[in-house]
Amino acid sequence: MGHRARSSPHVAAPAAALLLHLLTLAPHHAAVASNPPYTCGAGAPPNIPFCDTGLPIDRRVGDLVARMTVAEKISQLGDESPAVPRLGVPAYKWWSEALHGVSDHGRGVHLSGPLRAATSFPQVILTAASFNPHLWYRIGQVIGVEARAVYNNGQAEGLTFWAPNINVFRDPRWGRGQETPGEDPTVAGKYAAVFVRGVQGYGISGPVNSTDLEASACCKHFTAYDLENWKGVTRYVFDAKVTAQDLEDTYNPPFKSCVEDGHASGIMCSYNRVNGVPTCADYNLLSKTARQNWGFYGYITSDCDAVSIIHDAQGYAKTAEDAVADVLKAGMDVNCGSYVQQHGASALQQGKITEQDIDRALHNLFAVRMRLGLFNGDPRRNRFGDIGPDQVCTQEHQDLALEAALEGIVLLKNDGGALPLSKSTVASLGVVGFNANDATRLLGNYFGPPCATATPLQALQGYVKDTRFAAGCNAAACNVTAIPEAVRVASSADAVVLFMGLDQDQEREEVDRLDLTLPGQQQSLIESVARAAKKPVILVLLCGGPVDVSFAKTNPKIGAILWAGYPGEAGGMAIAQVLFGEHNPGGRLPVTWYPQDFTKVPMTDMRMRADPATGYPGRTYRFYRGPTVFDFGYGLSYSKYSHRFVASGTKPPSMSSIAGLKALEPTATSAAGAAMYEVEAIGAEACERLKFPAVVRVQNHGPMDGKHPVLLFLRWPNATDGSGRPARQLIGFRSLHLRAMQAAHVEFEVSPCKHFSRASEDGRKVIDQGSHFVMVGEDDEFEMSFMP
């Protein structure tokens, strides 16, 4: 984020002494407050409507906003919203972070008092590799509980957390891809929905009580945001040129799921423009799409300083007041920064906004604070009041951090049974690499102080007493090396494990990569160590984005490759357990790993679909036509698994039996001349009757018990016919735990209107006439013809 000026407090005019006497403003200190901030304390009578919990929230908010002066109203439009003492309204800080655990990176949380840590889960990209929505939900639950505990302990000034990041990981060079659930919109959407439900205190599925929030989650960055700084093009000025087709089937679906399925109470609009319009100033995006079409109920914040750049960097708005008007009229509610607070009054005086524009934003903001229970008296006496500091960093929470790391780790290569290692046969262990002995590097970005950490080196020393270590080079940049020392360690040990990859100097917010290869002299170090070792070495990669390790994939002196992402506070122990066979790896890659040659593609080209005429290869497993290092969904195990459809349980419906389908006329034809049927024309009733079960038999053939993700894809037979169809599309996934030799059945619900449809060029959902193939892994598939 850019430089942010602090807003000056707006002092309100005096009000009725009675109201001041009856409302309680809890004591509120910067870091070690004993009481959480709240209003409407004991003694407030029910005839003060905004304190009356028996009234609908809309009425309570309307009463509160009506009592505020214009200056007080404008003061609330920044992420640091000052107190309104005469109304008993405490200050509020909207910006808190909880990407993979409660963090103190924002303004609202202070882990510097009695509570000094929170559970730090793996970075999201690794958690996504588990393909386990129940795990994602439980992580969200822990974050919601720990967030409320920190607040109840007086160490927070807000309960609005700006997570998850659900932008599709479109380009492998993106520095923030590590924060996301990967490249697939279905996975990102499911992650968004269940994580948000967990954070907000909802069930994993089903109806929600939208008036009660344990904590507030915010889906970001809306939309088509996936570039930081590439060859001088920065996120602040980038204009993403996105087709209606790509917006409909790639960039927006995770946000749609976040709102419709997750019931998120927050959305963050992004820095970039989309087709010329800044997202925070786009009425069609914020008000029409999110609020009207998807039914969003919550507040919309800008990214930090995103309002100022509309004028200062992009030149979209001619004046500061125009920028304020653009965002408020588009549907944004609060500015991360002070720009709207500074220029709101002059925008009002110049007639560029109305007081009603301000009131609309305040209604959404105060509604969220009321849904959090912050206008219901002391929160420690209300619904979430029994969540105390003893519920932070519990053993159960720390065990879940370990479980998440274990489930996400992906085995990419395992030649000749190089893994697992055996404690009985490895008398000495050589550990090489800059990533082996730095606990902070396990955490990725946007992390808070973890409960406890152990580096991979420390964990491995618990398995093999004679463990020798050499860093080999200074950092991921690897521009200062000590290769001879690493070679000495490798040549003297029974087994060697290298910890290489990336770090936050190579990939992070505001930093995109230019190359996909390992930086600096890493490859030379790895190959030197591999040549010197007594037997094939193990390569562990710590990184968020994919790297081209083709050299290691084909080198027989490198026996195994593990990808461990940034595995969080328990990552060192998780890696050790996988290496020594105490856990059977089952993670699958949530992104395609491309070769270095992919860097010829401009990062600024937002097109998803390939263009053979120009040699443009497309993006992600759904559209990319080119060689890969490792495919989306790839991952090995210490066990062998098989999958097949169970014919007796897999029953596609008969088209002729569904009323209305026979009379359905094609709405258009594809570029290849095939008939297309618009999903909207099929209708909700027929779509419901088209749904059918697909039952898959999965067997673990041993030799170890294991957790195994089952991935269900749709394949189109003619993905290259110019229609814009993906080559294949993930339509369902489930994670199973199977004992060695155990078999189990897993049932998926297939919805042709949802799963067989694709986006047409103008963004409509259509189903192509003809064959559609449902696949489970590479093992089995069945055909269903859509022929109304």
Active-site annotation holder among 104, 184, 303, 305: 303
Q: Residues 6 or more apart from 554 whose CB is under 8 A from it?
A: none
Strands (E), 188-256: 216-222, 229-230, 233-234, 239-240
Q: Residues 6 or more apart from 158 whose CB is under 8 A from it?
A: 92, 93, 94, 95, 96, 107, 108, 109, 151
CA distances to 699, 700, 742, 745 from 705, rounded to whole Å, are 11, 8, 9, 16
Query: What is the spatial distance between Cα 369 and Cα 334, in angstroms, rounded to a whole number?
Result: 13
CA distances to 22, 61, 609 from 48, rounded to whole Å, are 9, 11, 57
Q: Residues 6 or more apart from 206 whose CB is under 8 A from it?
A: none
Strands (E), 459-594: 466-470, 495-501, 537-542, 558-563
Angle at 60 between CA 54 and CA 65, to 5 degrees: 170
> What's the sign of the alpha-carbon dihedral 618, 621, 623, 624?
positive
Phi, psi of 578 (to 5 degrees): -70, -45
CB 522 within 8 A of CB 567: no
- Integer-rounded Cα Rg, in Å, for the chain is 27
Cβ-based neighbour number of residue 405 at 10 Å: 32
The closest of 636, 622, 543 to 586, measured between CA atoms, is 636
CB 728 within 8 A of CB 756: no
Q: Is 303 a catalytic residue?
A: yes
Query: What is the spatial distance between Cα 344 and Cα 330, in angstroms, rounded to a whole number?
Result: 15
305's tokens: 């300083």
Query: What is the spatial distance between Cα 557 and Cα 394, in angstroms, rounded to a whole number?
Result: 42
Query: What is the spatial distance between Cα 340 and Cα 79, in angstroms, rounded to a whole number?
Result: 10
Cβ-based neighbour number of residue 699 at 10 Å: 17
Residue showing tokens 């080196």: 457
CA distances to 487, 494, 528, 590 from 491, rounded to whole Å, are 6, 8, 10, 35
What SS3 class is residue 321?
A: helix
Query: What is the spatial distance between Cα 527 and Cα 529, in angstroms, rounded to a whole number?
Result: 5
Which residues are registered as beta bridge partners of 469?
Answer: 431
Query: What is the spatial distance between Cα 212 and Cα 225, in angstroms, rounded to a whole number?
Result: 30
Query: What is the spatial distance between Cα 777 and Cα 788, in angstroms, rounded to a whole number?
Result: 29
Query: What is the spatial distance between Cα 261 and Cα 166, in angstroms, rounded to a whole number?
Result: 14
Strand arrangement of the beta sheet that strand 780-786 belongs to: 728-738, 706-715, 770-776, 780-786
> What's the sign of the alpha-carbon dihedral 355, 361, 364, 367?
negative
Phi, psi of 365 (to 5 degrees): -70, -50
Q: Which H or E run includes 575?
A: helix 571-579
**Which residue numbers are catalytic?**
303
